[in-house]
Amino acid sequence: MATKKTLAFLLMDAPYESARTTTAFRLIDAAVRRGHDVSVFSYEGAVALSFAKQAPHPNAVHGRDVAQEDHPNPKDWIGALAAQADRSGGKLTWINCGLCVDERGVGEVVPGVGRGSPVDFWKSAEAADNTLVIPTKG
């Protein structure tokens, strides 16, 4: 990698609601695979992305049991992105908006996910080479 960059993202959509979340994860994956440092601030519904009690389910329509369906929950993707960052020599920092967590009752999060406030995102943006806010629309 020629130059290591630091990128700050803000996500807002709740899991399983918008293709914007998948797009955001693609962008984060591309960055960490290149060894860049990435910080993510989850705001509003996006705090549920890291909720530890997400569970995979079977899918009768697909005719598959839970193992066959092998449905990745976003909490697992967050862990996988962090592991990828480690392997690539970068770092993934994931912070949830604390008040957003409280009002949704999703305080049980996967390891590595922290709690903060918009000021944490602002500080990340100040330190980053670039910033992308991906808000809920509509």
Partner 1 sequence: MSKKILQIVESAYRATIEEQDDTVVWFTHAIKGGGADVAVLLRGHAVNYAVKGQDASGIAFGERKQTQPPDLAGDLARLIAKGVEVHVVEEDLAAHGLVTAELIDGLKPLKQSGIPELLGRHDLIWHW
- Residues of this chain that bind partner 1 (CB under 8 A): 10, 43-44, 117-119, 121-123, 125-126, 131, 133, 135-138
Q: Which is nearer to partner 1, 65 or 129 (CB)?
A: 129
Residues 6+ apart with CB under 8 A from 80: none
Integer Cα distance of 52 and 39 in angstroms: 20
Q: Are 97 and 42 within 8 A, CB to CB?
A: yes
CB of 60 to partner 1, least distance (A): 33
**Which two three-digit tokens encode residue 68?**
């066959």
CB of 125 to partner 1, least distance (A): 6
Q: Which is nearer to partner 1, 37 or 79 (CB)?
A: 37
